[in-house]
Structure 1
Amino acid sequence: MRWLVRGDWDGFFGLALDNLVQLLLIVSLCQFVLGFSPELIYGRILPGAAISLIVGNFFYGWQARRLAQQTGRTDVCALPYGINTVSLLAHVFLVMLPAKSVAQNLGMDPAQQATFAWQMGLVATFGCGFVELIGVLFADAIRRATPRAALLSTLAGIAVGFIAMTFFFRSFARPIVGIPTLGIILLTYLGGRRFKFGLPGGLVAITVGTALAWITGLATTDQFPQTLPTLVLPSFAGAEFWSALQSEHWSMFLSVILPMGLFNLVGSLQNIESAEAAGDRYPTRPSLAVNGIGSIAACLFGSTFPTTIYIGHPAWKAMGARAGYSILNGVFCTIVCLTGVIAHIAAIIPIDAGMAIIVYIGVIITTQAFQATPIRHAPAVVLGLLPGIAAWGTLMIKNGLRAAGIGTPERPFQQVESLLPTFQGQFDLYVDGAFALNEGFIFTSMIWAALTVALIERQFRIAAIWCLIAAALSAIGFIHSYTYTPGDTAMALFAPASPWALAYAVTAALLFATPYLTQPNPPQPPKDES
């Protein structure tokens, strides 16, 4: 099999566009949500991302070539690889943005806040990569023990709130750009239509969105860089990473880091299986290991965003892509990240032009949670969605309180505790329940979806075991345990959430005793379908 064939160019344009959207999203969120400086974004984060992207893309291209040589085939397609959208958004909204609030509460100035948030992002990226790397030893066992509904519904909960709803709001705040581009995405990706001349729907949406943004004045030349692109080589960030580990604050993000690493691990495993179903059987352990190594390399060179094996191998293979499209993608992403040209692209293409794609990603992730699980497990998927939606709603509540002036040195966030009776009595809003759900919500989502699947399958002891896991996590403060800080609520790690631990333990006892306390419902007579 040759290194480069005609189909590789088609695959390259599709995969490169996907990665370009991720890079534009990184620039926009880091700049406008986290307040990072251009020096931090273009001098540390993007060069670090280039290292991870070139490591993975070159390996998977070489791996495809090697498989072709071993099998004597010429139709082997490399595993697609890039920055994980879900992890990207989770690291921004669930790690770095809360870390910035912690830094603000500690009295740091804006530059120090950005540095602190960046360092916490490095820890999260390393943690995800480490979980992926050691996870090759027990990935299959985790997958067997955890129902698919538990994994997919947890992702879907994040997708509904932090991905889809956030940008859905923005789409309707910018309707002239947001609604037509969303219509184009739905037309091409769901409506079964394609534009003439083979133009991808995503490219058309971004082009139309960019044009509308400039015509309406939403995009201006104010954001355009004043300097030409220059080469910025990656620099080692080991000292900054080690400094972050010396902080006592990184452990508060373990409830995000561990499950996100697990999701990336299992998701990559599923994508390897998808490739095997399409005819390309890759060895599991080296494929997963390099995935983890890519994320660790990203951290050590300054990127706060892990990488993953992408979904969609069968589509790229059907397009004619082989090994070369992966190599081309690695080269393209490296050039874009190291030269700073992404700053010029971001100035020309505002994030509003691509937000319809992000909404669609959120919709598809949520849809997959229902489609890829047995229909009888649908209640478990719905229940697994709720903690993620609750976490997003909690963020909205906190932002509303901050907009009202709570969370400042003059009015610290501890004042919210005195407002709880008002929230409950006048608005029937149990804010303390939202705060409890918010801490460790990813674990909570997995547990409730998994125990619901067990109940649906009449596996009462397994359901009880999931309750005991929840009780243990509550007892060590991984879920439901929180404390008030001057500007927020924070996980109270290793501080027992005693009421929740007791409640889970009682429920576990009930489930263990279910065979002795209950009996099956009598069979229902068949319905008259006439």
Structure 2
Amino acid sequence: MATPQATPRRWFVAGDLNGFFGLVVDNLSILGFIAAALIGIFGFPAEVVFARMFPGTAFGVLVGNLIYTVMGRRLAARTGRDDVTSMPLGLDAPTSIGMALLVLGPAFVAFKQQGMDEQAAAIATWQLGMASLVVMGVLKFILSFAGDAVTRLIPRAGLLGSIAGIALVLMGFLPLVEALRSPVVGFVTLGLLLYVLIAKGRLPVRLPGVFVAFVFGTVLYYSLGAAGLAPGFHWPELAPLRLVLPWPTLGFIEGLPSTVPYLPLLLPFGLLMVVGGINVSESARAAGDDYRTRDILLAEAFSTLVAGFCGGVAQTTPYIGQPAYKHMGARTGYTLLTGLFIGLGGMLGLVSGLVQWLPLAVLAPIIVYVALDITTQAFQATPRRHATAMVLGFLPSVAYMLAIKVGNPGWIAPENFARLMTTSDGHGLPEMAVIITLGNGFIITAMIWTSAVAAMVDGRLLRASAFLLAGAALTLFGLIHSVHPQGGIYWPWTLEGLPRVLSWQFAGAYVALATLLALLSLQRDAVPVASDQDAAH
């Protein structure tokens, strides 16, 4: 009888091709949206995106997939099984899109407003993106050893509700608007994606549904454009393609000071990836592949750090779909193929070339689908009795979206915006100031609100009070509810005038509710604990 180590195993099987197509399309769609958002929405120089940001980002995907391929083959050798499927790794959709829309794009605009020319602002933004990845990678590395403690401290509703709010409001609505700027292409592509992914409908060709939707939407876009039937159509201006090696650089050090105002976004981004890594490890274990959770998390953190050191701006993560790839028949070859295609393609310019030909009206619908899927999974994975608590966590994302739009100088002149921030109608604080303050730090705010209400539902009033007191402390320093329009942090004693009033009023609100809940907890059986069955009626 052959020992497990002596059993020969093929590097590739037929199912690896299906897995390769699926994983590559996921990564290309995210890279495409990053490029389309930065270049199309914020006017970012294409050369910096394709020649500086993309090679390092793609290199992180290569490194992570190589590590997961080795881990899969080792697991197969150790167990003597031929059906082991590697953990899929790629760019994380919510945080990558969040980096483009909430960090890199606004930072580029802010640098230009400070007097930098376009090229200097783009380089400063790139360095900020590198530094952001290093910050998130270090956080993920540290939390790899404390992931279970994090999941015990923050309820699932708090973790998933915060990301679902980003998904529905920012990843769902904003890309939907971009898709419908070319209505025929955007709506048809979205409908086709929903047909193949939600309705599980059949296509007349035996190809991955997302791949077919991309090709069909792209052909439709250029066909309508060539016929003069697409508003605002123009042929892409291709950046020159050349070999760019993602050498390690210390440029991220110059970007570290610029990360401070964005820490309320970056720290939750890193935390969510650790929790996601724990969840996907459990998912793979349930499918029969028992990977060590800490190894999965450390590999994820390492690939993110490598990307950051080499110029990348989007973090990597293991994907939740490992059982789906196993069902496709994929084993360990698909992650190797994906890593080589994305990594080497990013260095050679092939990925940039593909991305430049994918129109935003085709890319945006897949992001809308991802947003819908994330929100749906959040409700499915959260106890039903916590559903209302999770929905409450969506509201700070709405405030942040409004802040993005009304803070756009193209919509409201800066002097008018400043007046709205300070003018009261006699019924309390200025409404625009409240919207901006509520939106700043919205991810952590959502975690605190949802966690506190979930604790109330579970009858743990002192725990809810503790979450609220933490919110008060974070408010005082601007980590949430920053009174600075750009969301910066500060020492509370440096504030004066209306900003000081806003900060202390918001912090006082948290303290007041925390105190009230602590007093209510003195009652016997203050809250009848509801079951999921009770919540359904």
- Tell me the TM-score normalised to structure 1 length: 0.91
Choose from 239, 242, 248 the match for 2:253.
242
Matched, 1:254 2:263: yes
User: RMSD of the TM alignment (CA)?
Assistant: 2.3
Choose from 309, 318, 321 the match for 1:312.
321
1:289-438 → structure 2 map (5 Å cutoff): 289-399=298-408, 402-404=409-411, 406-407=413-414, 411=415, 413-421=417-425, 430-438=431-439
Query: Number of residue pairs matched?
Result: 509
Query: SS of the counterpart of 1:196?
Result: coil
Q: Which runs of 4+ in 1 moved over 4 A?
A: 218-221, 517-524
How far off is 1:26 after superposition? 2.4
**What is the CA deviation profile of residues 422-465 of structure 1, one whole-angstrom value per residue up to 9, with x for unaligned ones?**
9x79xx98212111111111110000000111111111111111
The one-letter code sitting in structure 1 at the alignment partner of 2:249 is: A
CA distance in 1, matches of 2:321, 2:247: 33
Choose from 163, 166, 169 the match for 2:174.
166
Q: Is the 8 A contact 2:186 2:364 kept in 1?
A: yes
Choose from 14, 17, 29 the match for 1:6.
14
Matched, 1:505 2:511: yes
CA distance in 1, matches of 2:529, 2:272: 39
The one-letter code sitting in structure 2 at the alignment partner of 1:361 is: V
Identify the residue that residue 481 of structure 1 maps to in structure 2: 482
The one-letter code sitting in structure 1 at the alignment partner of 2:420 is: V
Range with bigger deviation, 56-65 or 180-189: 180-189
How far off is 1:230 after superposition? 2.6
Range with bigger deviation, 109-118 or 380-389: 109-118
Query: SS of the counterpart of 1:205?
Result: helix
How far off is 1:102 after superposition? 2.7
Range with bigger deviation, 452-461 or 348-357: 348-357
The one-letter code sitting in structure 1 at the alignment partner of 2:189 is: T
**What is the CA deviation profile of residues 68-102 of structure 1, one whole-angstrom value per residue up to 9, with x for unaligned ones?**
11111111000000111111111112211232233
Q: 1:288 and 1:404, CA in 2 relative to 1: closer, same or farther beyond 3 A?
A: closer
Q: 1:67 and 1:514, CA in 2 relative to 1: closer, same or farther beyond 3 A?
A: same
Query: SS of the counterpart of 1:360?
Result: helix
CA distance in 2, matches of 1:505, 1:375: 28
Identify the residue that residue 3 of structure 2 maps to in structure 1: none
Identify the residue that residue 191 of structure 1 maps to in structure 2: 199
The one-letter code sitting in structure 2 at the alignment partner of 1:223 is: P
How far off is 1:131 after superposition? 1.1
CA distance in 2, matches of 1:367, 1:6: 32
How far off is 1:21 after superposition? 1.3
Q: 1:195 and 1:418, CA in 2 relative to 1: closer, same or farther beyond 3 A?
A: same
Identify the residue that residue 200 of structure 1 maps to in structure 2: 208
Q: 1:8 and 1:393, CA in 2 relative to 1: closer, same or farther beyond 3 A?
A: same
CA distance in 1, matches of 2:528, 2:155: 28
The one-letter code sitting in structure 2 at the alignment partner of 1:491 is: G
Identity rate, percent: 35
CA distance in 2, matches of 1:73, 1:53: 26
1:506-525 → structure 2 map (5 Å cutoff): 506-516=512-522, 520=526
Query: SS of the counterpart of 2:244?
Result: coil
Identify the residue that residue 490 of structure 2 maps to in structure 1: 493
CA distance in 2, matches of 1:498, 1:74: 61
Q: Is the 8 A contact 1:251 1:493 kept in 2?
A: no
Q: 1:226 and 1:477, CA in 2 relative to 1: closer, same or farther beyond 3 A?
A: closer
Q: 1:131 and 1:176, CA in 2 relative to 1: closer, same or farther beyond 3 A?
A: same
**What is the CA deviation profile of residues 155-199 of structure 1, one whole-angstrom value per residue up to 9, with x for unaligned ones?**
111111221101212233321101111111111111121213322
Q: 1:198 and 1:519, CA in 2 relative to 1: closer, same or farther beyond 3 A?
A: same
Q: 1:226 and 1:14, CA in 2 relative to 1: closer, same or farther beyond 3 A?
A: closer
Choose from 52, 62, 71 the match for 1:63.
71
List runs of 5+ in structure 2 lacking aligned partners: 1-8, 494-502
**What is the CA deviation profile of residues 186-217 of structure 1, one whole-angstrom value per residue up to 9, with x for unaligned ones?**
11111121213322221221122112211221
Query: SS of the counterpart of 1:82?
Result: strand
**What is the CA deviation profile of residues 241-268 of structure 1, one whole-angstrom value per residue up to 9, with x for unaligned ones?**
11122x3x42111101111100011011
Identify the residue that residue 236 of structure 2 maps to in structure 1: 223
